[in-house]
Amino acid sequence: MTDVRPRTSRLPVPPNRRRLVAVVAGLVIAVPIVAAHVVAWIETEFALDQLARGLHGMAEFIGDAVPPDLSRSVVEQGLQGCVVTLAIGLLGTTFSIPFSLLLAFLGARTTTRAPLVYQLARAVMSFFRAVPDIVFALIFVTAVGLGPFAGVLAIICHNTGVMAKLWSETMEEVDPGAVEPLRTAGASGSQIAAHVVLPSVVPQFVGLLLYRFDVNVRSSLVLGLVGAGGIGFSINQSISLFRFDEMLTYILMVLVFIIAVDLLSGVVRHRLARP
């Protein structure tokens, strides 16, 4: 008996289009990245051979700095500079809180429904974040003179923009289900913020505040290099006077100082994170 069923011919297996698409997508992403790095290499005049030629000068510089000057006057000046640096970071962080809180409320969709107010608040945040704190320090040095007061004002301005953005994004992550009933009942933005948003985000707010305090203390070191006081000002003076052994002493003190601030803020954040 003959088989009368129609024979089915096997169709050729199509090529693996997924793999081809993945390769093309990888090239589309990789080529611009590589090109950007090539341009950056050229624009920054990155040259390892130039670094190798300069190693002799670096060795002489380190030789002039070692051993550090541990005389009493230098150590006392360094300790005083560390205290001023800590004070700049502390006051700059604390005095920026009310401005950051106001901008965060105005720049969060959870508490602000007016698009114009929201966009204006976001623009102000962007401005304060875009201008580096060292630029603010240079501006305030010309206004109030050399000293830590200019550093405090610079930290206030820059930290207001950064912290307002962090806090506003935290507020926008609040569960909408807790906000909508009050909004439907006709509650204002300030009432929603006071009764729902703030109680939900206080731990995150405090954690971000401690993080910014840590960053601001580091920033105040750099601000001292432009005349805003603190240990950075002492480092700048010792370099200008070619007293590299004093410079090394101040740098070692900065290292201990930063480690202590890191440990302290880490302990506080860890305790806040506990349920």
pLDDT at 170 over 60: yes
**Which of the two residues, 13 and 75, has the higher pLDDT score?**
75
pTM of the predicted model as reported, rounded to 2 decimal places: 0.74
Confidence class for position 99, pLDDT limits 50, 70, 90: very high
According to the model, what pLDDT value does residue 153 have?
A: 92
According to the model, what pLDDT value does residue 227 have?
A: 76
Return the closest-CA partner of residue 272 out of 194, 201, 207, 209.
207
**Which of the two residues, 112 and 177, has the higher pLDDT score?**
112
Residues in the chain: 275
According to the model, what pLDDT value does residue 243 have?
A: 84
Are the C-beta atoms of residues 224 and 235 closer than 8 Å to each other?
yes
According to the model, what pLDDT value does residue 181 have?
A: 62
Please write the tens of the pLDDT for every residue from 72-92: 888 888 888 888 888 988 999
Q: What is the DSSP letter of 108?
A: -
The arithmetic mean of pLDDT across residues 41-64, rounded, is 80
Using the CB atoms, write b or e for 14-50: b if 16+ within 10 Å: eeeeeeeeeeeeeeeeeeeeeeeeeeeeeeeeeeeee
Cα 102 → chain centroid: 20
Tokens linked to 61 = 């510089």
Confidence class for position 226, pLDDT limits 50, 70, 90: confident
Distance CA(177)–CA(196), nearest Å, equals 10
Please write the tens of the pLDDT for every residue from 151-166: 899 999 999 999 999 8
CA 202 → CA 26, 157, 167, 198, 206, distances in Å? 42, 23, 10, 6, 6
According to the model, what pLDDT value does residue 16 have?
A: 62
Are the C-beta atoms of residues 209 and 130 closer than 8 Å to each other?
no
Task: Break the chain into its structural domains and give their ranges.
Answer: 17-60, 70-273
Cα 249 → chain centroid: 27
According to the model, what pLDDT value does residue 13 have?
A: 45
According to the model, what pLDDT value does residue 184 have?
A: 64
Q: Looking at the domain covering 70-273, what would its CATH class be?
A: mainly alpha
According to the model, what pLDDT value does residue 59 have?
A: 81
**Which of the two residues, 190 and 135, has the higher pLDDT score?**
135
The arithmetic mean of pLDDT across residues 209-219, rounded, is 85
**Which of the two residues, 94 and 49, has the higher pLDDT score?**
94
pLDDT at 9 over 60: no
According to the model, what pLDDT value does residue 160 have?
A: 92
